[in-house]
């Protein structure tokens, strides 16, 4: 009995020892259970099943990973059903799994992520790409593939690269489709593109061909021809088949399919009739860099499957997910982690029926395992496997594929690091990031219809509807636009420019002009532009100024004419008269100039008085000298020499100022005396704003808005005028007789008005810069194409010919249409006077400093009674300033010696010359006389 009792005790002890103790390792169990949840019979699932099994087999065969612990994989089929996925996930929770790989469906992932959060079991999905599956809502959800946030960024950059603006999105109407298209919309908006139409398709098997046909018929009637298809494979091929039937896979269309299509193409050999439907389609595929390990695994895969199933990028991510989990579990055990579970009290309290919820338990160390998963860093078949702080994989990148013939060709890459390129992303990672436009490149694409020409991306809807182009019916200035009586046609300068531009487009533009306004007064152009935003008009043609408040709601073409606001006022011819020589300068300028002349004379006199005899003498003489010297510098005729360095410096600066003043005065006076002058009491918009006189403006013009809101002129001062005749009458009456002081209008109208009213002129400069353009809805491709056409008209001279046809032939000379009443003012010269004044002040400061130094070192002989008194110091200082400064002995001696040397040199030369002449005379006489006489 004792033996039996001992054996029984040993058995009980052995049964109570955990499995990892029996295995010889005190911290590692013999097995670790993991689960896998996906759809077995799907494009991704068929590849994932094989990849999972091979990865588990490789991990268990590698003793350096888990070091004796084996992974046990349990697979469940969710069949793309959220309900079945939740049921299978709950079953996993009854088997004490430490992690779940999957699901592949974003819909299922949204549901079971709540279960994973509650039971703290990490959920590693290799195919759920919904960008809204974030760690903020689902902290235990880990995406081991690329988010659709990056895929949609790649699609948006492709669309922006080719210059398309409007996109149609067709998507499966579930979490995967809706959230993916929402991310695409955000990415397009950041590039000033947009999704003009979103078409959702019912998920699962509920969608039928008739529904898809109705949807694509609506799409065919739209303007955009760029279609992004974000669905599952079954719906995707059905959409392409219907599109081919409706003629929507031919020339002019652009189809961009997300990576669902590349997964099918990589894993299955498609029949030729299916490939013919896909010709020219652009496809994205998750990029995985080439490596020896990847090539070896592909070779092994082909042997394993005998070529029946191809390996796509999701299969590679599935394989790496198993290794990621294995490395994390190994680190988990190294940190002393223990696999243990405990009951969830909330589930126990909620279980009042027969669901057996108490069987589910919380993974006690799930957070530790999750942290190790997120800190993993190794190189797998897909490249570096590492997570960013937002839990996305590092270095997201996509291949851009073009379906051509019976296969596919890669036309480039997209990476979050450098954008679009024809160089593999792993090559660019070694260089600084460069996302400039010049650095974005793709190879040529063969588009639907087997053409290399990039599709325009939009057409006019083929439902027979013409564009409704709003045209203002003007009461005045009908040269720009006016209706042709008895027809629905229009004529005028603006109409001819629009017609010529449309004729340059490489496609037909069906349109009809729709009149706007009653013709009895000019219509409100802001209201015309607003009707474009409501859809009542598809565009507007006419003399429509491009101003800020309008550009906020519509798009304008390139301006076809320049036209800013100007001021028109009455004028009268002015007689030159006997006092015209005073007109070049304003009174202030005359006063400042005269003061400076006297000031400069005083400064030079102070600086020269002690050393220059010409600036000494009786007071009366000195005053005359100051006045004469200062005024004579005006003609550079001063006779007095300056001897001091400071005096010469001041005089040099002043002569430069005088030169500038003389030149400006001469030019202005010449203009006054030789050119006919026009004058007006209005000098421009500034003087008009400062006054209180009434101001006229054209009815319907933006001038009223500008004067009130931007300039700040009261509405009570504005008078609406509707025709050139009203302009002339109001200006002739003047503000005192019920008229206006001036009129503010656009230059184009003013030039026509002045052509028949020569008693008015433009005063002051043009104070706004704007132009006229054709208006279209925001992001309208027609606005861009017409802008190009207008530039062509300008370059080939046609725009000028149209202008000459309608607007040339004015009777008033263009030379007299503007009044420049600006006189030379002090503000134009204050800088010169400032520099001159500073130089004078500095020179005087230096001069008086020298005097003070000399005063401090002087010791004059004065009576003792006066020494030290303030009056005595003052008399000494004044006498020092007034006294004649003697030249130094050295300088005097040098001057005397120099003069003496010059005199001696002169006398010597005279004596030498006299001796020479004497000797020559003697020789001559000796030659002429006999010897005895000599």
Q: For residue 587, what are its two tokens?
A: 């009174």
**How confident is the model at residue 923, as a pLDDT?**
44
Q: Which residues contact 154 (CB under 8 A, 6 or more apart)?
A: 284, 398, 400, 414
Q: How far is residue 600 CA from its own chain's centroid?
A: 54
Instruction: For residue range 334-377, list pLDDT tens digits in order.
Output: 998 898 888 766 655 555 555 555 556 788 899 999 999 999 99
Query: Lowest-confidence range among 346-355, 403-412, 768-777, 878-887?
Result: 346-355
Q: Which of 82-91, 443-452, 664-673 has maximum average pLDDT? A: 443-452
Instruction: Please report, to the nearest 10 degrees, the dihedral formed by the alpha carbons of residues 885, 889, 893, 895 taken in order.
Output: -20
Which band of pLDDT confidence, cut at 50, 70 and 90, is reported for residue 86? confident
Instruction: For residue range 391-400, list pLDDT tens digits in order.
Output: 999 999 999 9
> 530 vs 897, which has greater pLDDT?
530
| Percentage of residues in the chain having pLDDT higher than 90 | 42
**How confident is the model at residue 902, as a pLDDT?**
47
**How confident is the model at residue 709, as a pLDDT?**
86
Integer angstrom CA distances of residue 205 from 81, 213, 243, 633 = 12, 16, 19, 102
For residue 376, give the nearest of 119, 99, 108 by alpha carbon: 99
Instruction: For residue range 833-885, list pLDDT tens digits in order.
Output: 788 788 888 877 877 777 777 667 665 544 444 455 666 656 666 665 655 66
Integer angstrom CA distances of residue 298 from 305, 313, 399, 485 = 10, 11, 18, 78
pLDDT over 80 (residue 185): yes
Instruction: For residue range 314-333, list pLDDT tens digits in order.
Output: 999 999 999 999 999 999 99
> 620 vs 745, which has greater pLDDT?
745
pLDDT over 60 (residue 822): no
Q: For residue 860, what are its two tokens?
A: 């004059």
Q: For the residues 556-581, what does the mean pLDDT come to? A: 79
**How confident is the model at residue 917, as a pLDDT?**
54
> 869 vs 662, which has greater pLDDT?
662
Query: Lowest-confidence range among 242-251, 643-652, 879-888?
Result: 879-888
**How confident is the model at residue 15, as a pLDDT?**
36
**How confident is the model at residue 883, as a pLDDT?**
58
Which band of pLDDT confidence, cut at 50, 70 and 90, is reported for residue 555? very high
pTM for the whole structure = 0.67
Block residue for tokens 């079991």: 121
**How confident is the model at residue 680, as a pLDDT?**
61
pLDDT over 70 (residue 83): yes
**How confident is the model at residue 26, as a pLDDT?**
44
Bridge partners of residue 383, in order along the sequence: 380
> 233 vs 600, which has greater pLDDT?
233
**How confident is the model at residue 160, as a pLDDT?**
94
Instruction: For residue range 251-303, list pLDDT tens digits in order.
Output: 999 999 999 999 999 999 899 999 999 999 999 999 999 999 999 999 999 99
Q: For the residues 524-538, what does the mean pLDDT come to? A: 93
d(CA 353, CA 270): 51
Q: For the residues 223-246, what does the mean pLDDT come to? A: 93
pLDDT over 60 (residue 7): no
| Percentage of residues in the chain having pLDDT higher than 70 | 79
**How confident is the model at residue 347, as a pLDDT?**
59
Exposure class string for 338-375: b at 16+ Cβ within 10 A, else e: ebebeebeebeeeeeeeeebeebbbbebbebbbebbbe
pLDDT over 60 (residue 893): no
| DSSP β-ladder status, 166-172 and 226-230 | parallel
Sign of the torsion formed by the C-alpha atoms of 687, 692, 693 and 699:
positive
Q: For the residues 528-537, what does the mean pLDDT come to? A: 94
**How confident is the model at residue 813, as a pLDDT?**
47
**How confident is the model at residue 900, as a pLDDT?**
54
pLDDT over 80 (residue 624): no
**How confident is the model at residue 682, as a pLDDT?**
79
User: How many Å from the N-terminal Cα to the C-terminal Cα in the chain?
Assistant: 187
Sign of the torsion formed by the C-alpha atoms of 449, 452, 458 and 462:
negative
């Amino acid at each position: 009995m004792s033996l039996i009792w001992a054996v029984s005790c040993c058995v009980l002890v052995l049964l109570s020892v955990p499995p990892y103790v029996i295995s010889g390792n005190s911290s590692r169990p013999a097995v670790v259970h993991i689960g896998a949840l996906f759809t077995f019979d799907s494009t991704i699932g068929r590849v994932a099943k094989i990849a999972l099994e091979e990865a588990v087999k490789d991990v268990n065969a590698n003793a350096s990973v888990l070091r004796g612990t084996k992974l046990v994989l349990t697979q469940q089929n969710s069949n793309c059903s959220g309900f079945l996925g939740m049921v299978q996930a709950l079953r996993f929770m009854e088997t004490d799994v430490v992690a779940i790989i999957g699901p592949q469906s974003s819909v299922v992932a949204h549901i079971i992520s709540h279960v994973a959060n509650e039971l703290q079991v990490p959920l590693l999905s290799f195919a759920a790409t919904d960008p809204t599956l974030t760690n903020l809502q689902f902290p235990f959800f880990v995406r081991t593939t690329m988010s659709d946030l990056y895929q949609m960024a790649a699609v948006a950059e492709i669309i922006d690269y080719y210059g398309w603006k409007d996109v149609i999105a067709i998507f499966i109407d579930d979490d995967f489709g809706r959230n993916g298209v929402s991310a695409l919309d955000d990415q397009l908006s950041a590039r000033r593109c947009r999704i003009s139409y979103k078409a959702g398709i019912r998920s699962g098997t509920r969608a039928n061909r008739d529904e898809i046909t109705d949807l694509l018929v609506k799409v065919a009637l739209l303007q955009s021809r760029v279609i992004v298809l974000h669905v599952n494979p079954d719906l995707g091929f059905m959409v392409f088949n219907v599109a081919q039937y409706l003629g929507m896979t031919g020339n002019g269309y652009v189809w961009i399919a997300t990576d669902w299509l590349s997964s099918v193409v990589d894993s299955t050999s498609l029949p030729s009739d299916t490939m013919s439907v896909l010709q020219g389609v652009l496809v994205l595929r998750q990029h995985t860099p080439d490596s020896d390990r990847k090539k070896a695994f592909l070779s092994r895969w082909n042997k394993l499957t005998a070529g029946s199933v191809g390996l796509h990028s999701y299969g590679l991510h599935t394989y790496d997910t198993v290794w990621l989990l294995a490395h994390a579990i190994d680190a988990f055990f190294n940190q002393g982690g223990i696999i243990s579970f405990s009951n969830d009290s909330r589930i126990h309290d909620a279980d009042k029926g027969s669901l057996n919820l108490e069987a589910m338990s919380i993974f006690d160390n799930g957070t530790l395992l999750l942290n190790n998963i997120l800190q993993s860093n190794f190189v797998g078949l897909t490249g570096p496997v590492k997570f960013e702080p937002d839990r996305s994989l590092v270095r997201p990148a996509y291949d851009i594929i073009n379906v051509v013939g019976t296969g596919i060709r890669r036309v480039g890459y997209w990476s979050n690091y450098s954008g679009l390129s024809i160089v593999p992303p792993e090559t660019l990672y070694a260089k600084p990031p460069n996302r400039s436009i010049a650095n974005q490149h793709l190879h040529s694409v063969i588009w639907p219809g087997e053409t290399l020409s990039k599709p325009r991306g939009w057409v006019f809807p083929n439902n027979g509807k013409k564009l409704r182009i709003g045209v203002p019916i003007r009461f005045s200035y009908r040269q720009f636009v006016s209706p042709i009586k008895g027809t629905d046609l229009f004529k005028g300068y603006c109409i001819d420019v629009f017609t010529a531009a449309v004729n340059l487009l490489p496609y037909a533009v069906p349109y009809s002009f729709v009149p706007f306004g009653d013709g009895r007064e000019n219509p409100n152009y802001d209201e015309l532009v607003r009707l474009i935003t409501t859809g009542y008009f598809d565009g507007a043609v006419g003399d429509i100024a491009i101003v800020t408040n309008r550009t906020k709601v519509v798009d304008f073409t390139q301006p076809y004419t320049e036209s800013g606001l100007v001021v028109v006022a009455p004028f009268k011819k002015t007689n030159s008269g006997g006092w015209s020589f005073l007109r070049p300068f304003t009174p202030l300028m005359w006063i400042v100039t005269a003061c400076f002349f006297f000031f400069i004379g005083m400064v030079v006199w102070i600086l020269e008085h002690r050393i220059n005899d010409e600036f000494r003498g009786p007071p009366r003489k000195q005053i005359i000298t100051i006045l004469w010297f200062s005024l004579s510098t005006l003609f550079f005729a001063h006779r007095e020499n300056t001897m001091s360095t400071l005096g010469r410096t001041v005089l040099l600066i002043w002569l430069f100022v005088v030169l500038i003043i003389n030149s400006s005065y001469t030019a202005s006076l010449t203009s006054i005396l030789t050119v006919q002058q026009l004058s007006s009491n209005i000098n421009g918009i500034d003087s008009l704003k400062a006054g209180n006189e009434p101001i006229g403006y054209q009815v319907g013009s933006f001038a009223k808005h500008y004067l009130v809101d931007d300039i700040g002129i009261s509405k009570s001062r504005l008078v609406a005028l509707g025709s050139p005749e009203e302009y002339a009458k109001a200006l002739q009456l003047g503000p005192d007789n019920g008229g206006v002081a001036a009129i503010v209008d656009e230059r184009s109208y003013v030039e026509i008005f002045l052509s028949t009213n020569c008693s008015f002129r433009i005063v002051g400069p043009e104070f706004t810069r704007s132009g006229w353009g054709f208006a279209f809805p925001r992001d309208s491709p027609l606005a861009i194409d017409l802008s190009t056409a207008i530039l062509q008209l300008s370059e080939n001279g046609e725009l000028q010919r149209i202008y000459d046809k309608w607007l040339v032939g004015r009777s008033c000379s263009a030379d007299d249409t503007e009044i420049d009443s600006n006189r030379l003012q002090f503000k134009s010269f204050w800088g010169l006077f400032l520099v001159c004044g500073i130089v004078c002040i500095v020179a005087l400061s230096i001069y008086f400093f020298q005097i003070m130094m000399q005063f401090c070192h002087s010791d004059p002989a004065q009576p003792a009674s006066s020494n030290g008194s303030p009056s005595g110091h003052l008399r000494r200082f004044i006498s020092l300033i007034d006294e004649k400064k003697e030249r130094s002995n050295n300088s005097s001696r040098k001057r005397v010696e120099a003069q003496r040397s010059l005199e001696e040199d002169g006398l010597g030369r005279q004596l030498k010359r006299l001796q020479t002449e004497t000797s020559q005379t003697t020789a001559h006489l000796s030659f002429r006389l006999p010897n005895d006489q000599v």
